[in-house]
Amino acid sequence: MLRSSFQRHHCLFQKAVLGARFHTRCLSVGEQGTFAEGLEEAVRLLKEDQIVGIPTETVYGLGGNALSEKAVSKIFEAKNRPPDNPLIVHVSSLSMLKSILPNNDIPKLYLPLLNAFWPGPLTLLFPKSELIPDIVTCGQPTVAIRFPKHPITQALIEKFGKPVAAPSANTSGKPSPTLAEHVCRDLSGKIPLVLDGGACNVGVESTVLNGLTVPPVILRPGGITYEQIRAVPGFEDVRVYQRDFSDKEMEKKPPTPGMKYRHYAPDAPVILVECDEGVEDTLQKIASEIQNASAKVGVLRTSSFPLKHRGLPVVEYSLGDGNHPDQVARELFKGLRILDGSGVKFIIVEGIKEDHEGLAVMNRLRKAADKIVTSV
Ligand code: TXA
Ligand code: MG
């Protein structure tokens, strides 16, 4: 029902279930004329402590006034987000950043990172001030903050004049949305407005970096790569959580991204193939097991050799060339959603190397996977 009622750029949604509270309006703001209208409407809603779907360069966010407990609680409710998973606060300038930090003080060690990567897909942990309600950080003494690059969301935060808390705008546990239509599918009836700013450029979420510890730690790999961060003075020793070390105590705590809860998963079970060799053998083996149940199988491709389907009902979707991980990152969540929407019973994914954006891609895929195949 949702799919048939969705029109690409300007549409109304209403969830066909009891308890729907909103007609969800999806407003294209990429074109002349609608930009001002969209921003005005979104600012009006934010001022009323409503929440709005917003485009960012990484994934779509579900934004609300970060200084309002009431608005932030609506974010948790609409996403069905576990109450101990803290949110990222979005700012539109360094002066707005300062205004929410204790003593208006930006930690000095962050300055080279801010120069290099802000605005952009890098989230940093800062000491939390009293201004930020506890519900945003789930009681943590730190707050995650980022300055997004997308011009629509920058303009929106600037016009609103206050920081905006925004998790990814998916139902908790599902793949993050990289198109406005993904937000509508997950949250229709639950929010009043989605600003459609087109496809997200980066396609995976921001990197979450804690520079307040020695050595600094990448808690979640994302749009700014490990290689880029390591090249910044003071961050040569940065470590990647789960790749370079793990910490049982830390995993019990809420702030460790994606540790405690299932993430990024479509409805169909995901089988991730991580072997360097014999990808086709593995795919065929899995496919023939599945054939017994005569199920349609989706394959997310990152290589280009032709796959032998052997008469199986296989739906292929290319994520791009695995040697260009930025392309794969851009397509990843969309690909998972497309195959899920095509009614496949399983989704097999060809893994890629864990360098550059490949680290974030493989992090998301391992969390989404029901099964990981590492040898033929
Ligand atoms: O690119 C992004 O970061 C997108 C766009 C919308 O900005 N947002 C996003 O938010 O991915 P979300 O809520 O889906 O993921 C935020 C992650 C969570 O895994 C959370 O655990 C972590 O950031 N986080 C938030 N506050 C934290 C804190 N104080 N300490 C450690 N991790 C924190
Ligand atoms: Mg998320």
Task: Report the CATH number at residue 40.
Answer: 3.90.870.10
352 and 241 housed in the same domain: no
Query: What per-residue string of b and e applies to 264-281 under the rule 16 or more CB within 10 Å gives b?
Result: bbbebebbbbbeeeebbe
Residue range 92-118: mean pLDDT, rounded: 98
Residue range 197-213: mean pLDDT, rounded: 97
Is the residue at 263 inside a domain? no
- Residues constituting the chain: 376
**111 CA from centroid of ligand 1 (Å):** 21
User: Cβ(87) to ligand 1 under 6 A?
Assistant: yes
pLDDT of res. 8:
37
Confidence of residue 261 (pLDDT cuts 50, 70, 90): low
Confidence of residue 255 (pLDDT cuts 50, 70, 90): low
φ/ψ of 142, rounded to 5, equals: -115, 155
Going by C-beta distance under 8 Å and a sequence separation of 6 or more, which residues neighbour residue 143? 86, 89, 100, 125, 126, 127, 128, 129, 132, 136, 137
212 and 349 housed in the same domain: no
Q: Is the pLDDT reported for residue 13 higher than 60?
A: no
C-alpha span between 70 and 125 (Å, rounded) = 23
User: Does 146 carry a binding-site annotation?
Assistant: yes
What percentage of the chain carries pLDDT values higher than 90? 74
Print the domain residue range for 240: 207-252
**pTM (2 d.p.):** 0.93
**Ligand 1 atom 33, closest CA:** 255
Which of 312, 311, 315, 308 is CA-nearest to residue 349? 315
56 and 170 housed in the same domain: yes
185 and 235 housed in the same domain: no
User: Does 176 carry a binding-site annotation?
Assistant: yes
39 and 123 housed in the same domain: yes
Is the residue at 18 inside a domain? no
C-alpha span between 366 and 357 (Å, rounded) = 14
Residue range 357-364: mean pLDDT, rounded: 98
Query: pLDDT for 320-348, tens place per residue?
Result: 999 999 999 999 999 999 999 999 988 99
Confidence of residue 16 (pLDDT cuts 50, 70, 90): very low
Is the residue at 3 inside a domain? no
222 and 318 housed in the same domain: no
Residue range 300-304: mean pLDDT, rounded: 93
- State the average pLDDT for the chain: 89
User: Does 220 carry a binding-site annotation?
Assistant: yes
**Ligand 1 atom nearest 60 alpha carbon:** 6
47 and 181 housed in the same domain: yes
* Total domains in the fold of the chain: 3
Query: pLDDT for 161-187, tens place per residue?
Result: 999 999 999 999 999 999 999 999 999
154 and 239 housed in the same domain: no
CA terminus-to-terminus distance, the chain: 41
Is the residue at 96 inside a domain? yes
